[in-house]
């Protein structure tokens, strides 16, 4: 998928995360600020890269401010941000690229 | 060298402190020693007054100089002005290398951080620290070591002479011109002065600081004039709104109510729940809720409590008002109802030493049946951490946690299985502050684990309908939801030690360092 315009998903509430995606420089640029970075920084990065790979996103600047979100939440917020950025609000591939 | 809770204590720290590693709770039982004593300047001439004009003059009269240890209490909690006021003057006088020996420090003391950075303060001994002082210590800004010790442990350190307090500053809500201090009355009513009593007994110089001078004699004195050198009157010793707040509203959080209910059900099914039992609880939502639900069952079954201990709050004082407890033993008041209750003749003030000191001839905690506590983390050995936050920064206090946990016959820790994403039940706590041998039961929203050391409690609960699990099962549930946490990445330098009650080393705290991602292929 192509990142067409900057988009955002999620909140800064406890147990949520806010994901921002923008057009990249030909690769994935990942940045993370997290209240649980010591415990789950590597895990969050893994989940984000997996989600982007499932969505077929290879060119993106993705920034996450995490307030202790679980993996399922992080995944959902990344997916939402990417689809918003692509302008796709209908016919979402539930069970396909979105797992 | 590895200690009894499996923590590696580096040789250099043992040498630098002259301390031993923690050998287990009863290592010092029966130990004999001669107590330290204060240098005392006799006042024999008749009449006179101990009033001095200001803190500066008191410091001069006390002979303030580089390298001294200054004592403070924390009865004014987040409303305290005394520590900042004294340290500002010490700083202005250009004094350096001060050790602060406080019963606790909080966010109210953020303003002393610059004095840590510039070398005015080079060591801190406290039950704990919060806010910017914790950040400063964890970032390696304190030149010496921070020593975190329990309320009982602080009394032990001072009585044994391990820590000599040169000058103690005792903020007191009322005082007369001869130094009789009372925790009640005045503008900054805090109820009791329990933590300051050891300072009054053992510090070479004792300065009472008040904002309400009353005519002699301010009796019955909580701290006697016989121990006080000077009295200073200032405009304000604290912010009354932050010293004693209104009673906390009983929680409506279903998760906490459920844990409180588990706790009460557990308590009433132990053999210790009988007429004349004793009880202490903390100020967390679940602890308070469990006190309220316990009171109901006590009434139904016609069971009275002999004594309650605290750290007191409204629900405990209500037991006294309703005739459900014979007496309260008080070391600290958390709300206005508790402060008010001090006037009750069955509400007794006790010193921190009477409360929790392991190095006297027996403290109140040893007579406790139940204590209900909280924790940041509990590991599968039942070790608790109440001091170091999930970001590795010192952000809490031992308080009476290790003292009551060791003393009580049934020590219950209530903790939600997940604190945000952080599993509260884990394989290894970040830092051990209370040893697992002191903890009997852990109550979470996902089930209750009894320490296998307590086969008698496991037996007592055999036919009780509560969700019992092993501590490992609780950890596995937490990890299945949140994922297995990695350990906090610390630097090498040791910035603090966690002292056991008996002065041995329970654990060390290292300087924090910025998180670094693990190296993986193809990822930036």
* Residue A98 within any structural domain of the chain: no
Q: Does residue B421 sit at the A interface (CB-CB below 8 Å)?
A: yes
CATH of the domain at A15: 3.30.230.10
With a cut of 70, say whether residue B523 has pLDDT above it.
Answer: no
Rg of chain A's alpha carbons, rounded to an integer? 12
Measure in Å the smallest separation between the Cα of B419 and chain A Cα atoms.
9
Q: What is the pLDDT of residue B313?
A: 93
Chain B interface, best mutation among A38, A61, A71, A75, by max B CB count within 10 A: A38
Cβ count within 10 A of residue B57:
14
What's the DSSP call for residue B128? Answer: B
pLDDT digits (tens, 9 = 90+) for B97-142: 999 999 999 999 999 999 999 999 999 999 999 999 999 999 999 9
Domain of A15, in residue numbers: 7-85
CATH class of the domain comprising B45-243? alpha beta
Domain count, chain A: 1
How would you label B392-416 residue by residue, b for 16+ Cβ within 10 Å and e otherwise? Answer: bbbbbbbbbbbbbbbbbbbbbbbbb
Closest CA to B315 of B331, B302, B328: B328
Q: What is the pLDDT of residue B285?
A: 87
With a cut of 80, say whether residue B522 has pLDDT above it.
Answer: no
What ipTM describes this predicted complex? 0.94
Q: Does residue B480 sit at the A interface (CB-CB below 8 Å)?
A: no
Measure in Å the smallest separation between the Cα of A39 and chain B Cα atoms.
4
Classify residue A29 by burial, with Cβ atoms within 10 Å: 0-12, 13-18, 19+.
Answer: middle
Of B392, B517, B524, the CB nearest to A42: B517
CA distance B66 to B83: 17
Q: What is the pLDDT of residue B524?
A: 46
Q: What is the mean pLDDT of residues B52-76?
A: 98
Handedness of CA B161, B162, B166, B172 (dihedral sign): negative
Cα B350 to Cα B103, B309, B354: the distances in Å are 15, 10, 6
Q: What is the mean pLDDT of residues B241-266?
A: 92
The CB-side HSE value for B44 (13 A sphere, CA atoms) comes to 3
Cα B510 to Cα B26, B112, B417, B494, B507: the distances in Å are 27, 21, 26, 4, 10
Q: What is the pLDDT of residue B521?
A: 56
Domain boundary assignment for chain B? 45-243, 254-482
* Residue A2 within any structural domain of the chain: no
Measure in Å the smallest separation between the Cα of B517 and chain A Cα atoms.
6
Closest alpha carbon within chain B to A13: B420
* Residue A94 within any structural domain of the chain: no
Q: What is the mean pLDDT of residues B445-460?
A: 98
With a cut of 60, say whether residue B48 has pLDDT above it.
Answer: yes
Q: What is the pLDDT of residue A76?
A: 97
B480 vs A contacts (CB less than 8 Å): none
What's the DSSP call for residue B160? Answer: T
With a cut of 60, say whether residue B497 has pLDDT above it.
Answer: yes
Closest alpha carbon within chain B to A69: B421
Phi, psi of B498 (to 5 degrees): -100, 115
The answer to whether the CB atoms of B420 and A68 lie below 8 A apart is yes
With a cut of 50, say whether residue B39 has pLDDT above it.
Answer: yes
The answer to whether the CB atoms of B422 and A49 lie below 8 A apart is no
Q: What is the pLDDT of residue A96?
A: 85
CA dihedral B155, B159, B164, B170 (to 10 degrees): 50
Contacts of residue A57, defined as CB under 8 A and 6 or more positions apart, other chains included, come to A1, A3, A28, A82
What are B354's two structure tokens?
């009477």
Measure in Å the smallest separation between the Cα of B334 and chain A Cα atoms.
28
Average pLDDT, chain B: 96
Closest alpha carbon within chain B to A49: B523
Range B254-482: architecture per CATH? 3-Layer(aba) Sandwich (3.40)
Q: What is the pLDDT of residue B282?
A: 85
pLDDT digits (tens, 9 = 90+) for A80-95: 999 999 999 888 988 8
With a cut of 90, say whether residue B472 has pLDDT above it.
Answer: yes
Q: What is the mean pLDDT of residues B20-31?
A: 97
* Residue A37 within any structural domain of the chain: yes
With a cut of 80, say whether residue B403 has pLDDT above it.
Answer: yes
For chain A, which ranges sit under pLDDT 70? Answer: none
How would you label B14-39 residue by residue, b for 16+ Cβ within 10 Å and e otherwise? Answer: eeebebbbbeebeebeeeeeeeeebe
- Which range in B311-315, B339-343, B354-358 is most confidently predicted, on average pLDDT? B354-358
Closest alpha carbon within chain A to B515: A38
């Amino acid at each position: 998928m192509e990142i067409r315009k900057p988009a955002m998903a999620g909140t800064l509430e406890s147990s949520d995360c806010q994901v921002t995606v923008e057009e990249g420089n030909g690769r994935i640029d990942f940045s993370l600020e997290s209240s649980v970075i010591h415990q789950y920084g590597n895990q969050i990065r893994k989940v984000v890269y997996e989600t982007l790979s499932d969505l077929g996103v290879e060119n993106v600047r993705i920034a996450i401010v995490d307030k202790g979100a679980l993996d399922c939440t992080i995944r959902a917020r990344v997916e939402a941000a990417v689809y918003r950025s692509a302008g796709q609000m209908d016919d979402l591939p539930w069970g396909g690229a979105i797992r | 060298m590895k200690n009894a809770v499996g923590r590696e204590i580096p040789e250099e720290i043992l040498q630098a402190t002259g301390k031993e590693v923690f050998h287990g709770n009863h290592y010092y039982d029966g130990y004999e020693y001669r107590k330290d004593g204060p240098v005392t300047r006799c006042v024999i001439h008749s009449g006179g007054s101990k009033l001095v004009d200001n803190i500066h003059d008191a410091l001069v009269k006390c002979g303030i100089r580089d390298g001294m240890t200054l004592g403070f209490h924390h009865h004014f909690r987040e409303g305290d002005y005394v520590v900042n006021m004294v340290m500002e003057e010490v700083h202005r006088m250009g004094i350096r290398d001060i050790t602060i020996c406080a019963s606790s420090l909080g966010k109210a003391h953020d303003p002393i951080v610059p004095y840590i950075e510039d070398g005015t303060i080079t060591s801190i001994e406290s039950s704990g620290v919060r806010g910017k002082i914790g950040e400063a210590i964890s970032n390696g800004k304190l030149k010496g070591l921070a020593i975190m010790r329990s309320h009982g442990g602080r009394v032990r350190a001072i009585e044994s002479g391990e820590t000599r307090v040169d000058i103690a500053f005792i903020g007191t809500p009322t005082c007369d011109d001869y130094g009789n201090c009372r925790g009640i009355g005045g503008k900054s009513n805090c109820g009791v002065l329990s933590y300051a009593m050891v300072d009054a007994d053992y510090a070479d110089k004792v300065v009472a600081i008040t904002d309400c001078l009353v005519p002699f004699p301010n009796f019955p004195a909580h701290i006697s004039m016989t121990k006080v050198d000077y009295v200073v009157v200032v405009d304000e010793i604290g912010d009354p709104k932050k010293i004693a707040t209104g009673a906390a509203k009983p929680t409506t959080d279903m998760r906490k109510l459920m844990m409180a209910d588990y706790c009460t059900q557990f308590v009433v099914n132990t053999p210790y729940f009988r007429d004349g039992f004793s009880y202490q609880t903390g100020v967390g939502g679940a602890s308070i809720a469990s006190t309220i639900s316990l009171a109901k069952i006590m009434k139904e079954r016609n069971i009275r409590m002999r004594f309650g201990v605290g750290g007191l709050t409204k629900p405990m004082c209500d037991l006294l008002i309703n005739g459900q407890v014979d007496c309260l033993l008080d070391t600290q008041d958390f709300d206005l109802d508790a402060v008010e209750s001090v006037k009750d003749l069955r509400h007794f003030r006790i010193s921190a030493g009477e409360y929790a000191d392991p190095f006297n001839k027996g403290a109140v905690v040893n007579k406790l049946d139940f204590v209900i506590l909280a924790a940041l983390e509990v590991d599968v050995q039942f070790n608790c951490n109440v001091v170091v936050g999930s970001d590795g920064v010192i952000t809490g206090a031992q308080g009476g946690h290790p003292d009551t946990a060791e003393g009580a016959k049934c020590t219950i820790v209530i903790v939600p299985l997940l604190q945000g994403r952080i599993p509260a039940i884990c394989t290894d706590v970040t830092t051990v502050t209370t040893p697992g041998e002191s903890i009997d039961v852990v109550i979470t929203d996902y089930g209750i684990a009894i320490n296998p050391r307590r086969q008698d409690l496991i037996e007592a609960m055999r036919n009780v309908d509560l969700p019992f699990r092993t501590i490992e099962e609780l950890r596995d549930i937490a990890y299945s939801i949140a994922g297995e946490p990695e350990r906090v990445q610390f630097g090498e330098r040791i910035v603090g030690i966690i002292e056991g009650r008996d002065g041995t080393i329970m654990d060390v705290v290292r300087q924090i360092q910025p998180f670094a991602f693990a190296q993986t292929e193809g990822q930036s």
